[in-house]
Structure 1
Amino acid sequence: MSDSSKRKRPLVADKRTSAKPKAKAPSKAAPAKRRRARQKPPRRGGILGFFSAIARWILRLIWTITWRITAVVALVLALAVGYIYTTLPPLEALLDGRARGSVTMLDREGDVFAWRGDQFGGVISAESVSPHLKNAVIATEDKRFYKHFGVSPRGIASAVRINLSEGRGPLQGHGGSTITQQVAKLLCLGEPFDPSAGQTEKEYESSCRRSSLSRKAKEALFSMAMEAKYSKNDILSIYLNRAYMGGGAFGAEAAAQRFFGKSAATVSAAEGAMLAGLLTAPTTLSPTNNLDRSQDRAATVIRLMEDQGFLSKAEAAEAQANPAVLSEAAEAEAGGYFADWVMSSGPEFFTRNTTEDVIIKTTLDQRIQRAAEDGLKWVFDNKVKDTSKAQAAIVVMSADGAVRAMVGGRKTKVAGAFNRATQAMRQTGSAFKPFVYAAALDLGYSPNDTIDDSPYCLNIPGSGQWCPKNYTKNFKGTVSLTNALKDSLNIPAVKISESVGREIVSKVATQFGIKSDLAAGPALALGASESTLLEMTGAYAGILNGGSSVMPYGLIDLRLMGDNEALMGTGGGIGERVIQEDAARQLVYMMEKVISEGTGQRAQFEGRQLAGKTGTTSANKDAWFVGFSADYVTGVWMGYDDNTPLTGVTGGGLPTEIWRETMSRVHAGLPLTDLPMSQPAPSTIVSEPQPQPQPTGRAPAASGNSGGTIIDQVLRDIFGNSSGGSATPSPGAGDR
């Protein structure tokens, strides 16, 4: 049988559904697996695991304590800085921090020649100052100034390392201070100077600069507060205005004016480097103290500026090749002796202790001052041994007492030194004799009157016999008053003084300006009294001006800076008449003979009419020459500070040569002018002695006596026969 009847199934694939399969249900174990994946590897067990757990706990504890302490410290610091921030004044109040004022002195032409006190040249800013100066300060003091927040941890760490390596304490020596920290010190951390606190200004400044740990911490806080309050340029401006830069100058502007005679806005790279170099040690490095040392320091600053990119190699080379030099006024060392004298003679509240900025116009002539300094130097360089310790002083003035130049010692470029022209009281010797003759001429004596120069003694109560002698130990017999002064004879001077009366001579000298106590005995006529060179020169000016007293002066007017009206004017000048004008003119005639024919012949120069008087004290301890032309009066003193006798020096020697070298330079280019002198009338013979003088000691006038000696007759009337005789003369002053 066939099986075809059986139906076969069609050869087709099974029908597939188009529906997506259902998602597989997540396993309940999946979350636990993920948690196990996030968990750290299982901890070790045993001893290692125990110690590991302890270490982890300690670290967590340290971290917790540290961040909390840090947060507390940061909060405290923020509060402290914030408090200091609120106490800081406006910027303008911090730019001039001087406790005292300044004195600026002008010469007779109105040019600045000296400074005293705390000099402040005016406010400058970091934007207006010369870029060279600004860059030099940053390169030298704080090269990361514009990058830190007031304190430089790197700088402090470096300073501590250097201090320890050099065997000092960590805070001793290098401080690592930023400019901001230095400003904080300049502001004394906001603690103003209080004179009532019992501290001196010097002690206050010292306390502001102490370096204790607590002080450093407060300094850091103050610095950060300033950084928050002021801009970087503001802080730099405070520094440039308040920093002391030597020579009495506070701030860059005052220093630039003081040393270079220009504004801080215009200083060159070399000048800016020198100013920046002063900040390290302003007194030691001051160019007025040691220019070479200051230039060496500036060279170092220039190298720093080049290294930090503030100067190109060519600019640095030019600055090194042309170092900064002082201005002419700065080279004068702040006016020297003359400026010191003006400061000491002016009102204290406007000079030594001024709290204001004062301008004083003076009588100084800088050309004449240089002439005096050069004249003194020339004589000592060419006429005196290098090893000599002898000193000299010079005063030059006009006939009205206006002092034009003053040299108080051989070291002319000084300030605050002992001034031998104004402070040294020295015996005047024969330089005093013109006052003896001035008294006689005012009473009517004539330059042609005669006197006997012969041995002469006086009995002095309580001292015994006193017998003066001439310098030459010789006697000239009958001489005129003119010749007696010309040759500086001692015996005629004493006789005239005794005839006129010592009281009269003392009064004349005092009224001419000799302020010291004058000798009471007969040695008065020979200059046994002491005086200063300034007084003597002023007294001779009275002779030149016609017989009126003179008060030497150096101050013309004084005013506050910025004011046009003077607070005070001249404190000296011509005063009351002392002797008659004709007597003064006759005395000038006699003193002219001293230079043209007598002991002062070395003073002659250029054919000018000159008058003066030499002076040498006993034992040659002092030598003088004081004289004048028609234009100027000059006095010269020479001697030793310890009164050692001069060897081979008299008033007619080296002092006269110093006078000539000074006056010849002073008169360079001036026309020849005659002296105001009178030729005396011809003498007449007096046959009868004059009546006995009155008890005051004032002798009657003599009208000339070419044959007899009327003065000797008067002396015989007063003292009997004590004049003359064969008594042996005792030593006395005199000169050549």
Structure 2
Amino acid sequence: MARGKKRSTQTGPVRKWLVRIVKVSFVAGLLGFIALAVAVTVIRSSLPGYEDLKSSPNGQMIRVLDVSGRELFSMGPSYGQWLEYKEIPQVMIDAMVAVEDRRYESHLGVDPIGIARSLKVRLERGHWAQGGSTITQQLARNIFLNNSRTFGRKGREILLALAMERKFSKEQILELYLNKVYYGGGAYGIDAASRRFFAHSASELSLAEAAIIAGLVKAPSRYSPTADAQAAIDRATVVLRVMQDAGAITAAQAAETEPTAVEMAPEPRQNSVRYFTDWALPQLDLLIDETVEPIEVWTTLDLGMQRAATNAIQTGVPAGAQGALVAIDRDGAVRALVGGTDYVTSNYNRATQAVRQPGSAWKVFVYMAALEAGYTPNDIVTDQPIKIGNWQPRNSGGNYSGDISMRSAFAYSKNTVAAAIGNDIGTSTIANMARRFGISTPIDTNPSMVLGTSDVRLLEMTKAFASINAKGIAITPYAITKVSTMKGDVLYQSKFDGSRVLVDPWVSAGITDLMQTAVNAGTGRAAQIGRPVAGKTGTTSSNKDGWFLGFSSGLTTGVWMGRDDAKAVRGLQGGRAPASAFASFMKVAVAKRKVEKFDTELVLPDWQLEPDEEELYGAPEDGIYVDENGMPIESGQGFEYDLEGGQAEDDPPQLDQGWIDSVLGRGEPDEPRQPQQSENRPPKDDPRPPARPDAPVSILPKPTEE
């Protein structure tokens, strides 16, 4: 008896604490249940109606339009036909339920077993590695929440799922889920996915196709058939095994179903427009605030010009090489952009990403710096061997023409003259000029930089030429003119800023004068299109890169050709394939534009005018003739010249300054100017006459460059 009382005395307090714990737990559980019920009821009352959820889109759709409003393509989500529950194939329902939520029909929106399993893995591994979400939870997350894996978001997801189960039937939830969940490839809903991957409606899905689609939900990007066909097939095999285990299909059905036999829809052809859009669309982040609304992006692209550009590159590039083309309008609008011969084979954008040596195309900066420093197109310079330090540049073929005008030196791309100019004005001055015109890549200031040894991008070089075309006004290439919502609300509108002046108008006029000559009589003759064109060729050593950049009728176009591995391309020179591709494109691009003559009259500042008119109008002396190698020949062995009337009757045409002026349609200048003094130009007492249309200069060799 005493022992029994002792045990009773010892166990009494324990029982009391146990009873208290049970009572507190019961009260806490009851209060928690009441709070949960209240929360679910409140959320249920605030949920949108079923029809509202059907009509609300997921994700942002972007329609990309060309300059005329024609759709280039749509990106972002795509939605197929909405399928009612009774229209959805049973194999699709069975596959989705088996792989995503086997206890779907029995739970109340949340699966405690699944949650417990997910938490256990989370605690063991320290991160979320296994999902425990039901189909209802996934739908709630897709419609109302984001994909962040936090306990707070998980709690909201559970409450929403419980509320949705109270408001909608199981069939309605499955219908919403199958029509709204993302399946990869931009497709939302099983119909969009079926059309995207199999090219037919979801109402016609087979068991194998349903298994492929059901397998996408876990990781749309990883298992998408368009991204990794084998991964999609392997995942579908897992789905079939899970369906068999759940009793949705028999072992025989699983065995005879072969996902590998499913015929996939062909991928839409990725044409050259994608080079443009790949460059243009990332700019949206800088133009508009983030939005989930569907938007329309109006671009500067002209589809007609883009087709012409694509054809010019594909047909004009030498075998084994690549090519790129950029066309910029007078306000900076990019009308065409091709980054390679085939986007499907290579989506690397050589127009905007590749950096290559420009060769003699770089001489526009050399000569603009010279013009700004006091040179004029009519100045006499000497084309002769030159040595600067240990560097000895040479002309193509080793030919030298002696005393020629700057215009001729530029037209025939004389390397020795460019080197002498760089030595005179300083390579840092030339680098500064290139920087002004938008070259952002590193610039080497060694003497050889005058021949284009610093890497550049085609887009930036074309931008520089467009600024020259704009008479020295800075031009900024742009791709997007307007962004608006589908309702018509304008989110962004482009504006042209022509306030930044890079060089004085007479400098841009002078370089335009030189570039006209290069096309009409020099290395760029293949770029002629039957209307005024100004441009410059560029060829690097061993023909690794070929360039042509120029403008006509307000449109500036740059062309580059070469190999991605920078190996030599036989016969590739700027004046050949690139210039021909330029002409092929421009003939189409400017066909409907007004023919525009260049305003190349040089209006020089007062300090640059020569006051001594006697020096300007002195009687010309006999000219010096040279042979095809630029070597002087004795008087009488060359062509006779009539100083009063020009060339003697029956003589073959001479490539002299008079001929160049006649080709360009120039009359004799009213006030020809004496060249400025420079250590690379003849002094005033030099016996050589100033360059005039009625004075012989030289018989120049066939235009070549390096």
The bucket for the TM-score relative to the shorter chain is 0.5 to 0.7
Determine helix, strand or coil for the equivalent of 2:325.
strand
Q: Which residue of 1 aligns with 2:351?
A: 421
Superimposed CA distance per residue, residues 675-718 of structure 1 (whole angstroms, 9 cap, x where no aligned partner) = 6456999xxxxxxxxx9999xxxxx9999999599879622589
Q: Which residue of 1 aligns with 2:535?
A: 612
2:516 is aligned with 1:593: no
Distance 2:440 2:338 in 1: 21
2:136 is aligned with 1:180: yes
Equivalent residue letter for 1:552: P
Superimposed CA distance per residue, residues 210-263 of structure 1 (whole angstroms, 9 cap, x where no aligned partner) = 9xxxx9x9999975653223234652465357523334x473499689969x9x
Structure 1 residue 570 displacement after superposition: 3.6
Superimposed CA distance per residue, residues 461-510 of structure 1 (whole angstroms, 9 cap, x where no aligned partner) = xxx45432224333232334344233322112233455567676556544
Equivalent residue letter for 1:90: L
Structure 1 residue 363 displacement after superposition: 0.6
Structure 1 residue 379 displacement after superposition: 5.5
TM-score normalised to structure 1 length: 0.58
CA 1:288–1:149 in structure 2 vs 1: closer, same or farther (change >3 Å)?
same
2:271 is aligned with 1:341: no
Structure 1 residue 534 displacement after superposition: 1.0
Determine helix, strand or coil for the equivalent of 2:221.
coil
Structure 1 residue 378 displacement after superposition: 4.6
Determine helix, strand or coil for the equivalent of 2:478.
coil
Q: Which residue of 2 aligns with 1:646?
A: 567
CA 1:424–1:609 in structure 2 vs 1: closer, same or farther (change >3 Å)?
same
Deviates more, 1:471-480 or 1:671-680: 671-680
Contact 1:625–1:635 (CA<8 Å) still a contact in 2? yes
Q: Which residue of 2 aligns with 1:514?
A: 439
Structure 1 residue 101 displacement after superposition: 5.7
Q: Which residue of 2 aligns with 1:474?
A: 399
Counterpart of 1:635 (choices 558, 564, 571) is: 558
Distance 1:275 1:573 in 2: 53
Q: Which residue of 2 aligns with 1:113?
A: 72
Equivalent residue letter for 2:560: W
Equivalent residue letter for 1:180: T
Equivalent residue letter for 1:714: S
For residues 703-714 of structure 1, the aligned pairs below 5 Å read 714=678
CA 1:446–1:405 in structure 2 vs 1: closer, same or farther (change >3 Å)?
same
* Count of residue pairs brought into register by the alignment: 582
CA 1:112–1:78 in structure 2 vs 1: closer, same or farther (change >3 Å)?
farther
Equivalent residue letter for 1:183: L
Distance 1:97 1:205 in 2: 22
Superimposed CA distance per residue, residues 293-325 of structure 1 (whole angstroms, 9 cap, x where no aligned partner) = 989999999xx9xx99xxxxxxxxxxx999755
Contact 1:430–1:488 (CA<8 Å) still a contact in 2? yes
Q: Which residue of 2 aligns with 1:457?
A: 387
For residues 375-414 of structure 1, the aligned pairs below 5 Å read 375-378=312-315, 383-384=319-320, 392-409=323-340, 412-413=343-344
For residues 563-602 of structure 1, the aligned pairs below 5 Å read 563-570=488-495, 576=501, 578-580=504-506, 582-583=509-510, 585-593=512-520, 597-598=522-523, 601=526
Contact 2:40–2:159 (CA<8 Å) still a contact in 1? no
- 1 or 2 for the larger relative contact order (CA 8 Å, sep ≥6)? 1
Structure 1 residue 90 displacement after superposition: 0.8
Distance 1:98 1:636 in 2: 43
For residues 29-108 of structure 1, the aligned pairs below 5 Å read 82=37, 85-86=40-41, 88=43, 90-91=47-48, 104-108=63-67
Structure 1 residue 537 displacement after superposition: 0.7
Determine helix, strand or coil for the equivalent of 2:487.
coil
Distance 2:585 2:231 in 1: 33
2:301 is aligned with 1:364: yes
Structure 1 residue 539 displacement after superposition: 1.6
Distance 1:706 1:435 in 2: 34
Equivalent residue letter for 1:591: A
Contact 1:371–1:662 (CA<8 Å) still a contact in 2? no
CA 1:106–1:452 in structure 2 vs 1: closer, same or farther (change >3 Å)?
same
Deviates more, 1:618-627 or 1:94-103: 94-103
Contact 2:544–2:568 (CA<8 Å) still a contact in 1? no
TM-score normalised to structure 2 length: 0.60
Distance 1:516 1:376 in 2: 25
Superimposed CA distance per residue, residues 390-419 of structure 1 (whole angstroms, 9 cap, x where no aligned partner) = x6443222233211232345662599x764
Q: Which residue of 1 aligns with 2:183?
A: 245
Distance 2:39 2:92 in 1: 27
Contact 1:622–1:639 (CA<8 Å) still a contact in 2? yes
Contact 1:151–1:181 (CA<8 Å) still a contact in 2? yes
Superimposed CA distance per residue, residues 659-686 of structure 1 (whole angstroms, 9 cap, x where no aligned partner) = 64576367449638786456999xxxxx
Contact 1:551–1:575 (CA<8 Å) still a contact in 2? no
Superimposed CA distance per residue, residues 552-581 of structure 1 (whole angstroms, 9 cap, x where no aligned partner) = 111212334534334332466796475337
2:484 is aligned with 1:559: yes
CA RMSD of aligned residues (A): 6.5
Q: Which residue of 2 aligns with 1:657?
A: 577
Contact 2:516–2:533 (CA<8 Å) still a contact in 1? no
Determine helix, strand or coil for the equivalent of 1:715.
coil
Counterpart of 1:535 (choices 452, 455, 460) is: 460
